[in-house]
Every structure is written in C-alpha cells, then in structure tokens.
Amino acid sequence: MSSLILLRLPIIGAGGLFLRTQLPAVVGRLENPAMICIICKQAEVVSGTATVTLERDGLTLVVKHVAARVCPNCGEEYVDEDAALRVMDMAERAAHSGVLVDVREYAPSAAA
C-alpha cells in the first residue's frame, strides 16, 4: 500500500518562503497511479501537465509543462514528489541569480 503526500501552501525552500499562486498539490510516489481526485471526488486523475508559479521577495518563477496528473472533472493538478523537488531547485537557482521574472520549460531529467 502506498502513501499519498499532499503539500499545500506555503512552501519553504532553502532560501526562504515561496508563496504559491498556482501550485498543484504534490503527491508522493504512488505505486498505483490510479487515483480519484481528492477535491471533487468525481473522477480518476489522468496524465497531463501543469504550470507552476512561485513567488518570493519580488521573484516570480513560472515553470510550464510540468508532468502532472490532472482531474478531468475539476482540473485539480497533482505533481509528483520528484517533479516538485526539481521545480523547487529551479526556484532556488532563480532566486540566487537575482532575476525578478523567469519563465522556464520543465524538462524531465535524463535519469527519469
């Protein structure tokens, strides 16, 4: 039996607090990818993508096409733990680089 981990607002990175404006729920690794949406409880989520937006200290980072599971009924998005960690790493690097606005394309890691 696998466990479901949901992370919601706020998210704390190594450099401080990131506030979510549009961040999907983060789910742990699921052995069985079939899952009923926990928001509407009406449909089984399907593979798709999400756009993740994070803000901190004047930085706005948008990461497009993050692999996710999406509810076809209500649109709730679920990003797995590995993808969420990669997005948070992108956010930390953007924050340290001093940019104010950054839009990036999510690319799965070569190891995935």
Q: Is the residue at 68 inside a domain?
A: yes
pLDDT at 101: 94
0.85 exceeded by pTM? no
Judged against a pLDDT cut of 60, whether residue 21 lies above it is answered with no
pLDDT of 109: 64
| Confidence band, pLDDT 50/70/90 cuts, at residue 107 | confident
What pLDDT, on the 0 to 100 scale, is given for residue 20? 45
Domain-embedded: residue 41: yes
Total structural domains within the chain: 1
Name the residue range of residue 37's domain. 11-105
Is residue 95 one of the residues assigned to a domain? yes
pLDDT digits (tens, 9 = 90+) for 37-88: 989 999 999 999 999 998 888 889 999 999 888 999 999 988 888 888 899 8
DSSP letters spanning the chain:
------B-S-EEETTEEEEEEE--EEE---SS---B-TTT-SSB-EEEEEEEEEEETTEEEEEEEEEEEE-TTT--EEEEHHHHHHHHHHHHHHHHHT-SEEEEE----TT-
Decide if 23 is inside a domain: yes
Q: Is residue 5 part of a domain?
A: no
